Structure 1
Amino acid sequence: MQAAQTTIDAGEVAKFEAMAAEWWDPNGKFKPLHMLNPCRLDYITSQIAAEFDRDLNATSPFEGLRILDIGCGGGLLSEPMARLGAEVVGADAAERNIPVAQIHAEQSGLSIDYRHTTAEALAGAGEQFDAVLNMEVVEHVSDPLAYLTACQQLLKPGGIHICSTINRNPKSFAMAIVGAEYVMRWLPKGTHEWSKFITPDELYKLIEQAGLSPVDRKGFVFNPVTWSWSLSDRDLSVNYVTASLKPA
């Protein structure tokens, strides 16, 4: 069944189109993602390895797995997944991100299938994946439930969906918008809309409504003293990540 293509927010896409060329500049507009990326990868790789009984110390632990990085941007997550041996499809609704990602992958000697497309279009085409990485995207779509439903349709039975976003509370407004956009100037003003942020309980409910079974959630916590990110079992007050499974 083809999913309705209703979730793309043209204004949100335009924001990231304007920043496309800076994806691989660790001191550019995507500096927060470069800083967060090791922590994100630690969570993603451990969840996938646990679900599919893979040894991360092996040469290509994700060999044989097909992974979708939806909202791939310049490929900050797609490339590590490919290095771990996975067959990777990177998809983004912002067309200008795709050539940036393709060129960087070629320069890195990696084979990644990058596409200018949407989750809904991929689901409508019958694409199937062992894992769907849905990181920092759900707060930018117009219809989170329809979007998450498309992600569910893209998973094989028993597949894993990893989704991160930003909590909605006064602290997240202070840190993700005032701090990141106005004080630190890590992101252009207007990158995020606080009203689109989603609480962990709201996201769990949406994930369940989409037909997935949530199994884990953790916080990404920034330490301004060590200038680093870490995972937390308890602090989901700003950035957080969830893992859910498609029933076999």
Structure 2
Amino acid sequence: MTSQAHARSSIDPAEVERFSRIAAEWWDPKGKFAPLHRFNPVRLGFIRDQVLHHYQRDPTARRPFEGLRLLDIGCGGGLLSEPMSRLGFETMGVDASARNIGTAAAHAAEQGLVIDYRCSTAEDLLAAGEGAFDVILNMEVIEHVADPGDYLRSCAQLLKPGGLMIVATLNRTLKAFALAKVGAEYVLRWLPAGTHDWRKFLKPEELRGFLAGAPVAVDGPFGVAFDPLSGRWSQSGDADVNYMMTVVRNAA
């Protein structure tokens, strides 16, 4: 395992190692990351709609986000970074696992995409003055870090004034324990056992609390639910398991 841990880093080395071991499988739609491949369409739709509305971009444009700078923090193998690049964003993908970054960079090169991939952390980006992002994607990451509050505040500081961050995570409810932990890992075996620690799932009010006093506006939760009959994910009023929230940094 390789990471550029900084003195204030909130990364959890055990979590980095867990994902590093299976880094080569990121782009296999039938492999260990198959659930993320199935989840991607609803994530991408939500991201696109939120950014189109926030920046008043043309929804009919082929690359509607030209001129905007995006950070995909905890990018893994690049499952979101690549479509973001295709939509016109100047994209940086950051992950604490060097193996994940290697997989992501190799796949992007094969696709002819220019993405700035780095093995780093949110805290290190902040310390290096790498902020001023128009959009930050913070998707299914916060439940894997050691200090979620410090991590989220660091990410918020990387936003430009008026910038938008989208956070996706899992709710700490009994329903989430039954479905996202026991069901997904041990019954259906969608995920390797031990992928998630239910105790690190976060309630929406906890996310709001982490940013209390920060110069941001937080909205949500926006629920996401799985339909076992169709095998598809969709946006939902039910935020008991998976949900997303938006964070907008106050304009200067």
Q: TM-score, normalised by structure 1?
A: 0.96
Establish whether residue 168 from structure 1 lines up as the match of residue 172 from structure 2: yes
Please name the residue that 2:76 is paired with: 73
Q: How does 1:35-184 map to 2 (within 5 A)?
A: 35-127=38-130, 128-184=132-188
1:235 aligns with 2:243: no
| C-alpha distance in structure 1 between counterparts of 2:142 and 2:235, whole Å | 20
Q: How far did residue 215 of structure 1 move?
A: 2.5
List alignment gaps of at least 5 residues for structure 2.
1-5
Partner AA of 1:235 in structure 2: D
Task: Measure the CA separation in 1 of the matches of 2:214 and 2:145.
Answer: 15
Q: How big is the shift at 1:4?
A: 5.4
Distance 1:209 1:78 in 2: 30
1:24 maps onto 2:10 in alignment? no
**Contact persistence 1:145–1:210 (CA under 8 A):** no
Classify 1:242/1:4 alpha carbon distance in 2 versus 1 (closer, same or farther; 3 Å): farther
Change (3 A) 1:226 1:118: same
| Residue number in structure 2 paired with 1:215 | 219
Query: One-letter code of the match for 1:114?
Result: Y
Counterpart residue identity of residue 144, structure 2: H
Q: What is the RMSD of the two structures over their aligned residues, measured on CA atoms? A: 1.2
Deviation at 1:209, TM superposition (A): 4.5
User: Shift of the alpha carbon at 1:144?
Assistant: 0.8
Letter paired with 1:111? V
Q: What is the CA-CA distance between 1:216 and the residue it aligns to?
A: 3.3
Q: Find the aligned partners of 2:219 and 2:240 in 1 and give their Cα distance.
A: 19
Question: Which amino acid is the alignment partner of residue 194 of structure 1?
Answer: W
Which of 189, 199, 203 pairs up with 2:203?
199
Asked if 1 retains the 8 angstrom alpha-carbon contact of 2:9 and 2:121, the reply is no
Letter in 1 for 2:113: L
**TM-score, reference length from structure 2:** 0.94
Q: 2:13 aligns with which of 10, 14, 18?
A: 10
1:118-154 CA distances to partner (integer Å, 9 max, x unpaired)?
A: 0000011111200110000000111111101110111
Distance in 2 between residues matched to 1:166 and 1:67, nearest whole Å: 23
In structure 2, do the counterparts of structure 1 residues 209 and 13 end up closer, same or farther at CA, with 3 Å as the change threshold? Answer: farther
Alpha-carbon distance between aligned partners in 1 of 2:89 and 2:209, rounded to the nearest angstrom:
30
- Give the letter aligned to residue 73 of structure 1: G
Unaligned runs of 5+ in 1: none
Using the TM superposition, give the Cα deviation of residue 47 of structure 1 relative to its aligned residue in structure 2, in angstroms.
Answer: 0.7
Q: How many pairs were matched up? A: 245
